[in-house]
């Protein structure tokens, strides 16, 4: 039985990088779906001109709501594996097989593409402050759950059918990657595996994490970890 694989590509104002990212994605021959999160630039025009498979959100939802739409689509269309890929070209498509393999071998339910598993400093990305924040977050995960995820904020993830179903019904709206990773970690119901990947430098655009918002982000994620640890009820 062949496994159906879907690439979920959330896009918000990615006019500068979308075509380039999509070139490498269409080469892979995997199914994909672009979730256009109410972009206000030329992103929707590019999508229409190039006839990319896409969903236009009728209103901006933010990254969490957009990615969840992708998981809902994956669930409804019976995909076995869903992989999140950023539209800005940060995620190196050549690592897709590395993400899929542990799921095919039933070694993991969720595979996180992480640039911190390998100790090679060349493979590490982003600023010192960000790396420090991720280190701290990783330590917090370990403290509250006893398990280590080296790169809890990575948005380059592959999910099997069980995780797709879970995410389709339950997905955090803000800072979805660390929070949903932690939720799966705590539930003890899912196997999470990290594989080393290299991240590309952003070809264009800005990260959605701005410096002045990082304090709010830290509080939000930290509070989420505490509340989830206390046993948070899920939405119906």
Partner 1 sequence: MTNLQIEMAIASILLLIIIIISLKKNTISIKNSIAWLLLPVFFLLIAIFPEPLTTLSSWLGFETLSNFIFLIAIALLIMLCFFHTITISRQQNQITKLIQEMSILKQKENKNGKTK
Interface residues with partner 1 (CB under 8 A)? 54-59, 61, 65, 68-69, 72-73, 76, 173, 235
18 touches 11 (CB < 8 A)? yes
Quote the least distance from Cβ 146 to partner 1, whole Å: 30
The residue among 115, 143, 163 whose CA lies nearest residue 222 is 143
Residue with tokens 């070139």: 23
The residue among 182, 158, 178 whose CA lies nearest residue 232 is 182
Return the number of the residue (58 or 230) whose C-beta is nearest partner 1: 58
**DSSP 3-state assignment of 178?**
helix
Instruction: Give dist(CA 229, CA 49) in Å, integer.
Output: 47
Quote the least distance from Cβ 31 to partner 1, whole Å: 13
Q: Read off the tokens for 15.
A: 């006019």
Return the number of the residue (28 or 56) whose C-beta is nearest partner 1: 56
Do the bridges between strand 5-11 and strand 110-114 make them parallel or antiparallel, or are there none, so unpaired?
A: unpaired
Return the number of the residue (61 or 115) whose C-beta is nearest partner 1: 61
Return the number of the residue (171 or 182) whose C-beta is nearest partner 1: 171
Quote the least distance from Cβ 58 to partner 1, whole Å: 5
Quote the least distance from Cβ 75 to partner 1, whole Å: 10
Quote the least distance from Cβ 177 to partner 1, whole Å: 17
Phi, psi of 57 (to 5 degrees): -70, 130
Return the number of the residue (59 or 188) whose C-beta is nearest partner 1: 59
């Amino acid at each position: 039985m062949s496994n159906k694989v879907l690439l979920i590509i959330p896009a918000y104002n990615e006019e500068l990088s979308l075509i380039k990212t999509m070139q490498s994605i269409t080469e892979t021959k995997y199914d994909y779906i672009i979730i256009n999160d109410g972009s206000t630039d030329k992103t929707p025009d590019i999508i229409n001109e190039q006839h990319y498979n896409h969903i236009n959100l009728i209103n901006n939802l933010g990254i969490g709501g957009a990615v969840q739409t992708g998981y809902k689509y994956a669930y409804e269309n019976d995909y076995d594996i869903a992989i999140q890929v950023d539209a800005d070209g940060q995620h190196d498509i050549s690592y897709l097989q590395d993400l899929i393999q542990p799921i095919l071998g039933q070694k993991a339910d969720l595979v996180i593409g992480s640039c911190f598993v390998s100790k090679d400093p060349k493979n590490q990305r982003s600023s010192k402050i960000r790396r420090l924040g991720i280190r701290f977050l990783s330590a917090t995960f370990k403290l509250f759950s006893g398990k280590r995820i080296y790169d809890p904020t990575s948005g380059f993830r592959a999910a099997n059918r069980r995780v797709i179903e879970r995410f389709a019904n339950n997905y955090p709206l803000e800072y979805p990657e660390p929070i949903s990773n932690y939720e799966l970690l705590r539930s003890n119901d899912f196997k999470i595996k990290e594989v080393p990947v290299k991240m590309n430098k952003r070809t264009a655009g800005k990260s959605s994490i701005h410096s002045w918002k990082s304090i709010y982000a830290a509080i939000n994620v930290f509070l989420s970890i505490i509340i989830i640890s206390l046993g948070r009820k899920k939405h119906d």
